[in-house]
Amino acid sequence: MMEEIFQLLKEKFPEAIVEIPEEAKDPTVVIRKEQIREVSLFLRDEVGFNYLSFMAGVDLPERFEVVYYLYSMGREPISSNLGPLAIKVYVEDKTNPSLPTVSDIWPSAFQQEQEIYDFFGIVFEGHPDLRRIFMWEGFPGWPLRKDFENRTFTFKELEPTRPKAPYW
Amino acid sequence: MAVALKTQEIVLNMGPQHPSTHGVFRMVLTLEGETIVDLKPVYGYLHRGIEKLSEGRSYLQAVPITDRLDYMCAMTNEFAYAVAVEKLAGIKPPERAEYIRVIMAEFTRILNHMMAIGFLFNDLGAYFTPVLYAFRAREHILDLFEWASGSRMMPNYIRPGGVAGDLPEGFIPQAKKLVAHLWKFADELDTFLSENEIFLQRARGVGVLPPEVAIAYGVTGPVLRASGVKYDVRRAEPYSVYDRFDFEIPTLPNGDVYDRYMLRLLEWKQSLRILEQALDQIPDGPVSEKVPRRLRPPKGEVYGRIEAPKGELGFYLVSDGSDKPYRFKIRPTSFVNLGVLREITIGHKVADVVIILGSIDITMGEVDR
Amino acid sequence: MTDLENILPYLGELIARWLRGFLPSWLVDMIMMAIVGLLIILLMVIVVMALTLLERKILGRLQDRLGPNRVGPYGLIQPVADVLKLLIKEDIIPEKADRLLHFLAPVIIVVPAFMVWAVIPFGKKLVAADLNIAVLYVIALGSVTSIAILMAGWGSGNKYALLGGFRAVAQLFSYEVPMALAILSVVIAAGSMSLQKIVEAQSPLPFVLLQPVAFLIYFICGVAETNRSPFDLPEAESEIIAGYHIEYSGVKWAMFFLAEYINTFAVSAMVVTLFLGGWKGPILPSYLWFFIKVAIVVYVFFWLRATFPRLRIDQLLNFSWKFLVPLAMANLLVTGLVTKLGLVYGIKVTAYWVGNILVGGLGLYLLGRFTPKKALA
């Protein structure tokens, strides 16, 4: 079944696919970041992937990757639901990373994109409310990048960066 | 001559310290009288940096950290992590280990649903009585966990490759007695709570979640199944030995607070069915594969998921061939389920926000990680 | 047994005679009034202390655990420990609070609670002031509570307190109307507003057997008036933390606490006086019967608290205005009709029963028709 979906994608969006890694454990397809929205709409409406499980950001030495895992939900019997399809987007620019948002296509991406922005600094263009949800505005640095040290921070270091009350 | 009534909206902060927000969760409500116009959740009060911490530890050292994610049901967190690592490294644990994992996972599911029902009634105002009745039975299950693994809440028992140690002598007969007691207790709770008039008035029709909205927002677990969508990871992508047991996936049509409560009670009974079958069928044998202390899985990435009591819990692991994970991403159940909170509370009263939050059943350890 | 009956009036006579020896008569009267007042206040304080401990122990037993049992044997010195702690606590006033209102609210809530006890008959000759408009006095004092709660809510400068104050005022005045109507049926049946005469009119049958609908209405409204579960929205612990007394600590909070328990005891005493026969009973002295009956009613109050979840504010108000008020008015109609007909006692009882069953049955049937919340939809 995954073969047919790859076939469909190759026919419909030949220039969007960068590669289909063969040795990956879950079926993966790498999409160009400019066309992620059209591919997402196609996958949600025509093929039936209506459940975005999660989005993850990965910080590799040469680029950022944003991974989307898609499933379908609601079919009878349950085991006939479409299995995992991993969509990867390579973000080459490490100084100002950005890519289009999919939060209006799959609303579960709303919070996930806020989280990825908070931890990696990747800006999602078109997101209605992009803000840092776990750390505070003004926190120095992006925690999950590899160049952010994995050590303990002291109160004296972080206190000046905190916003002053009241803040909603 | 009509004069429009000018009302003023007030901003109320149901702050991080509150008896009913299930942990340190903060909601900024915009109220008009008692009706909610807007809700903004604020997270981060329990953020401990688990994802970054685990990048500096080996795969085995990360097991106690996964315990502390959803601290009320620790065994299933470890189970999800073990499934993910085994998928990555290509290990297959022995039969007896799989059965032990299923037994522990189903007991954890019952534990969680008992606590969720008890605290839902606490939010409603029945001053701790259902909580204490549920916790009395929960203590029996925690005694079993302590017997098997040495610790009640953070057991550190299910590891990649199998289970940490074999079950002690007499565990299986004791567990069978407990299962019989839990059947009676489920019926007892049903008699006390399901037909209570005040509960029906408060919970019917409150916080309705339509199925399309639930699927779009990525909600999973009892909240999804109470809206009528039949989806369970144990059937969609069977893991461990779940395909050998005979159990049903209950669903309910309405999707309000009452249905979520009723669904947890029904799932509890289905878990008891699985437990009876597993306790009968458990084979003898070794309980763990030989897994090196410093496990070095091959390069690659994988996503392993299970049906935790609150929904779909999964781990996305990226390995670069060394003994520490390169990226340790947790797919948190409660965080994704909370995305739908704003949708279903607008238009209700302040008193309803608390019970809707209680019916979604979150643990802040998972939301904030 | 008549000696035990009259022990307190006898002692009072002795003291008065001794004082008249060397003091003018008007001063002696004032001193006797002061002594009676002090006795009632002392009794109330002791009763409240006992009630706090009893509530915690009974709640604990209903929840399958022991109540407090560390302080003294069976926890009996627990109330003393609580009072000491409250007296030595620091008195914190928030910055944005309105100081005068914040100070006055506990005073205004506790004084009427004590004042109600001036008219309640403890025994055959034990009533502090046998007013012949005692019922009106009690209803009037019950309404002052809502003002005090609103003062507490507004004067604390806290939005939670304000929400609690709004809810409390709405709830309190909605439940006074059916309460007054239910009491009115008893007054018509007894023919007088004086509480002592109402108790004496309850032979041979107490009014609970003649007016069951009025009893139930008054009981429900009594629970609502004292802000107890399942009507404890103004101080809903799990939603708005402590509602209107969220910013009070120390002695001022003790005043709110005191007022709530005295009100609970007062409502139980009113239920007993109006419906359960007051101090009437064979063999034992009258004040013992009074306390036994009040204890049973107070136990039912605690039982309700441990068992039921609470209602939401709009469901509360709907219940009062759309169900209780019409029911109470229909009951009043039936009572007035039966009393006016002036029947022989046995037939009067039967007529009361028939009327009550009709009214009650119709009410429940209509309630079932219009609030169909089914368990399995």
Closest among B267, B273, B281 to B223, alpha carbons compared: B267
The reported pLDDT for the residue numbered B272 is 92
Q: Which chain A residues are Cβ-neighbours of B54 within 8 angstroms?
A: none
Beta bridge partners of residue A142, listed in sequence order: none
The predicted complex's ipTM stands at: 0.88
**How far is the C-alpha of B192 from the C-alpha of B203, rounded, in Å?**
16
The reported pLDDT for the residue numbered C236 is 59
**How far is the C-alpha of C338 from the C-alpha of C347, rounded, in Å?**
10
Highest averaged pLDDT of the listed ranges A77-81, C150-154, C344-348: C150-154
Q: Which of A23, A53, A150 sits opposite B56 (nearest CB)?
A: A150
Give yes or no for a contact between B70 and B46, defined as CB atoms under 8 angstroms apart.
Answer: no
Q: Which residue of B has its CA nearest to A84?
A: B303
User: What long-range pairs does C65-72 form, CB within 8 A, spacing at least 24?
Assistant: C65/B132
Give yes or no for a contact between C230 and C304, defined as CB atoms under 8 angstroms apart.
Answer: yes
CA distance B169 to chain C (A): 31
Q: Which of B18, B198, B200 sits opposite C241 (nearest CB)?
A: B18
Q: Residues B147-201: pLDDT tens digits?
A: 988 888 888 888 888 888 888 888 889 999 999 999 999 898 888 888 888 888 8
Q: Residue B347 — left, alpha, or beta (φ > 0 → left; ψ -120 to 50 → alpha)?
A: left
Q: Residues B239-276: pLDDT tens digits?
A: 888 888 888 889 888 888 999 999 999 999 999 999 99
Does C1 score more than 70 pLDDT?
A: no
Q: Would you call B201 and C373 a contact, using CB atoms and an 8 Å cutoff?
A: yes
Q: Which of C65, C238, C314 sits opposite B125 (nearest CB)?
A: C238
Query: Across all residues in chain B, what is the average pLDDT?
Result: 86
CA distance C264 to chain B (A): 18
The reported pLDDT for the residue numbered B4 is 62
Q: Residues A66-91: pLDDT tens digits?
A: 999 988 887 777 777 777 888 888 88
Phi then psi for residue C305, to 5 deg, are -65, -40
The reported pLDDT for the residue numbered B107 is 92
Report the DSSP pairing between strands B35-42 and B26-32.
antiparallel
Q: Indicate the SS3 state at residue A149.
A: coil
Beta bridge partners of residue B315, listed in sequence order: B304, B330
Q: Which of C159, C160, C309 sits opposite B121 (nearest CB)?
A: C309
Query: Across all residues in chain C, what is the average pLDDT?
Result: 84
**How far is the C-alpha of B330 from the C-alpha of C101, rounded, in Å?**
52
Phi then psi for residue C183, to 5 deg, are -65, -35
Contact of C375 with chain B, judged by CB distance below 8 Å, is answered with yes
Closest among C156, C155, C164 to C240, alpha carbons compared: C164
Q: Which residue of B has its CA nearest to A24?
A: B300
Q: Which residue of C has its CA nearest to B11?
A: C159
Phi then psi for residue B311, to 5 deg, are 155, -150
Q: Would you call B339 and A111 a contact, using CB atoms and an 8 Å cutoff?
A: yes
Window 213-242 of C, Cβ < 8 Å to B: 229-230, 232-233, 236-241
Q: How confident is the model at residue B1 (pLDDT cuts 50, 70, 90)?
A: very low
Residue with more model confidence, B4 or C157? C157
The reported pLDDT for the residue numbered B124 is 82
pLDDT tens per residue, chain A (168 residues)?
777 888 888 888 777 777 777 777 788 888 888 888 888 888 888 888 888 888 998 888 888 889 999 888 877 777 777 778 888 888 888 888 888 888 888 888 888 899 898 888 888 888 888 888 888 877 888 888 888 877 778 888 877 777 776 654
Q: For an interface test with A, which of B14, B50, B57, B217 has the most A Cβ atoms less than 10 Å from its Cβ?
A: B217
**How far is the C-alpha of B42 from the C-alpha of B56, rounded, in Å?**
28
Closest among C115, C107, C128 to C12, alpha carbons compared: C128
CA distance C152 to chain B (A): 19
Window 262-301 of C, Cβ < 8 Å to B: none
Angle among Cα C309, C311, C313 to the nearest 5 degrees reads: 150
C122 residue type, one letter: F
Size of chain B in residues: 369
Give yes or no for a contact between B107 and B79, defined as CB atoms under 8 angstroms apart.
Answer: no
Q: Indicate the SS3 state at residue A1.
A: coil
Q: Which chain B residues are Cβ-neighbours of C239 within 8 angstroms?
A: 20, 123, 350-351, 354
Q: Which two tokens stand for residue B59?
A: 């795969």
Q: For an interface test with B, which of A26, A51, A63, A103 has the most B Cβ atoms less than 10 Å from its Cβ?
A: A51
Helices (H), chain A: 2-12, 36-42, 109-120, 155-158
Report the DSSP pairing between strands A85-91 and A28-31.
parallel
CA distance A105 to chain B (A): 8
Chain A neighbours (≥3 Cβ pairs under 8 A) are: B
User: What long-range pairs does B272-275 form, CB within 8 A, spacing at least 24?
Assistant: B272/B110, B272/B179, B272/B182, B272/B183, B272/B186, B273/B245, B273/B246, B273/B247, B274/B102, B274/B106, B274/B245, B274/B247, B275/B103, B275/B106, B275/B107, B275/B175, B275/B179
Q: Would you call C377 and B354 a contact, using CB atoms and an 8 Å cutoff?
A: no
CA distance A166 to chain B (A): 12
The reported pLDDT for the residue numbered C294 is 92
CA distance B316 to chain A (A): 8
Closest among C242, C276, C229, C195 to B126, alpha carbons compared: C229
